[in-house]
Amino acid sequence: MAESINQVTSISAGEVLKTEIIVNQALIDILLAKQIISEEELVNSIRKIRQEQMEMLNESRKIVSFNR
């Protein structure tokens, strides 16, 4: 039976984040260049997502008490 060697490549969280930023920027550039979305639509969407994230964060910070 042949042994297989699994190589594990470690990628830092920073590298993953940088890659995500680059990919997202490339996608945004393509959408804008092809006039699929306008800059105004993009900005409004970013604002909406930030607002939703803040609401989720605020909800997660609420203390829940249990009556036993």
In a domain, 8, yes or no: no
In a domain, 65, yes or no: no
- Cβ-contact 31, 37 below 8 angstroms: yes
- Hunting for tokens 């042994």 — which residue is that? 3
Per-residue pLDDT of the chain (68 residues; tens, 9 = 90+): 556 666 778 889 999 999 999 999 999 999 999 999 999 999 999 999 999 999 999 888 876 667 76
Judged by DSSP in three states, 6 sits in coil
In a domain, 3, yes or no: no
Task: Tell me the residue range of the domain where 47 lies.
Answer: 15-60
- Cβ-contact 32, 42 below 8 angstroms: yes
Question: What is the structure's pLDDT at 28?
Answer: 96
Number of domains comprising the chain:
1
